[in-house]
Amino acid sequence: MATWFDEARLDDDSVLETVDLRLRTLAESGARVRREAHAAAAATAEAIARGRDEARPRAVIAAGPDSRLLRAVLEPWCPVPFVAWPNPGLPGWAGSLDLVVMLAPEGNDHGSASAVAEAVRRGAQVAVACPERSMVAEHAAGRHVTLLPTVTGDQLATAVVMLDYLAHIQLGPHAEAESVAESLDEVATSCSPHRDLAVNPAKMLAIAMADTNPLVWGGSVLAARAARRLAESLRRTSGRSAIAGDAEHLLPVIEATRPHDTFADPFSDEQADLRPLLLVLDDRADDPVVREQAGELRAAAARHGVRVETLETHADAEVARYASLLLTGTYAAEYLRVGLVDD
């Protein structure tokens, strides 16, 4: 069955009403960040006051399935050794001198609960963000445990709460919830379904990706994390083989692209013949290596006739830039889902 893209659906109110719940969930991203910050404010203040009397940990271990997001933010800044441990349990060396950090937005993951229980058993310092009444919270009872209560189940909002706490105890960069929320609100406004595609960056990006298999690249650590999350969204909404990776992984794909056949019948192309599109997530990272890699990717794309699209952000703080890029891309993925129809 052939699939084609009908861009008129992106401005059709009757069609957009069918995905109102998903788009509304995206639009409320900023509100969820504010809600989590408010819900955890008292517990965070208490934990910060208590932490002033505690020694700096030997190492920080981010445990659980969301550890890679914490690593992307903390690894360049953390003044002590930092380890992301998405695997079950904890590293064998983790003990009473270390801090175990856990994000558990839902709070009912057995692996996360087991890792927290193991950290408590070993006498480690533990900081966990999860719902107060959850499996993870039940396993987080201990003398050296800091529980930051969460209420929305949102991964990013939960991470902002934890990052704010870690910044106050001098283990990470400043991450202000309001800055992140404002960036998300700006994206929700610019990418709203009520803005027509001529002035809507997410709708325009969806149109650009309509007949392609996207290759998503972000140069900085956080942009690369956003690229991976966005590729997951694109695979889920389109069923296509969107991939994200480092420049060295994407270059061979670009260089293997066959020259475009200008005489090919566009209406007979099957999904397997979709050409790649290079989507660059630009978070304004001022790094010579990032600029060099971006130049290599763009040059290779130009040589092989691969279209390049750039997703930019004007947010100030690092986490806000990550949030802005990811939300804009997620909106585009949803609009791609809306526009794709089966023939």
| 45 lies in some domain | no
For residue 162, the enclosing domain spans: 53-168
pTM over 0.85: yes
Check whether residue 313 and residue 194 sit in a common domain.
Answer: yes
Q: Tell me the per-residue pLDDT of 247-306, one tens digit each, with 9 for 90 and over.
A: 999 999 999 998 766 656 655 544 447 899 999 999 988 889 999 999 999 999 999 999
Check whether residue 185 and residue 304 sit in a common domain.
Answer: yes
Q: Among the three residues 118, 145, 168, which one is the final residue of a domain in this structure?
A: 168
d(C-alpha 128, C-alpha 208), whole Å: 41
Check whether residue 158 and residue 210 sit in a common domain.
Answer: no
List, in order, residues 6 or more apart from 131 with CB less than 8 Å away: 106, 107, 137, 149, 150, 151, 153
| 273 lies in some domain | yes
Check whether residue 21 and residue 163 sit in a common domain.
Answer: no
d(C-alpha 218, C-alpha 230), whole Å: 11
Task: Return the pLDDT at 271.
Answer: 44
CATH code of 111's domain:
3.40.50.10490
| 43 lies in some domain | no
Check whether residue 205 and residue 315 sit in a common domain.
Answer: yes
Query: What is the domain count for the chain?
Result: 2
| 174 lies in some domain | no
| 9 lies in some domain | yes
d(C-alpha 328, C-alpha 281), whole Å: 10
Q: Among the three residues 135, 168, 201, which one is the final residue of a domain in this structure?
A: 168
Digit-by-digit pLDDT tens for the chain (343 residues) are 578 899 999 999 999 999 999 999 999 999 999 999 999 999 999 888 876 667 889 999 999 878 888 998 998 889 999 999 888 889 999 999 999 999 999 999 899 999 999 999 999 999 999 999 999 999 998 888 999 999 999 999 999 999 999 999 999 888 889 999 999 999 999 999 999 999 999 999 999 999 999 999 999 999 999 999 999 999 999 999 999 999 999 999 999 998 766 656 655 544 447 899 999 999 988 889 999 999 999 999 999 999 999 999 989 889 999 999 999 999 999 999 999 998 6
Check whether residue 198 and residue 269 sit in a common domain.
Answer: yes
Q: Tell me the per-residue pLDDT of 309-335, one tens digit each, with 9 for 90 and over.
A: 999 998 988 999 999 999 999 999 999
Check whether residue 82 and residue 142 sit in a common domain.
Answer: yes
Residues 3 and 340 sit within 8 Å (Cβ to Cβ): yes
> Which secondary structure element, helix H or strand E, spans residue 244, and what is its range?
strand 243-244
Q: Look up tokens 């979709």; give the residue.
A: 274
Check whether residue 186 and residue 164 sit in a common domain.
Answer: no
Check whether residue 245 and residue 155 sit in a common domain.
Answer: no
Distances (CA, A) of 225 to 54, 111, 160, 185, 246: 32, 22, 15, 21, 11
The DSSP annotation for 291-305 comes to: HHHHHHHHHHHHHTT
Q: Look up tokens 């175990």; give the residue.
A: 100
| 114 lies in some domain | yes
Number of Cβ within 10 Å of residue 92's Cβ equals 6
Check whether residue 244 and residue 210 sit in a common domain.
Answer: yes
Distances (CA, A) of 300 to 94, 148, 256, 257, 280: 44, 47, 10, 10, 13
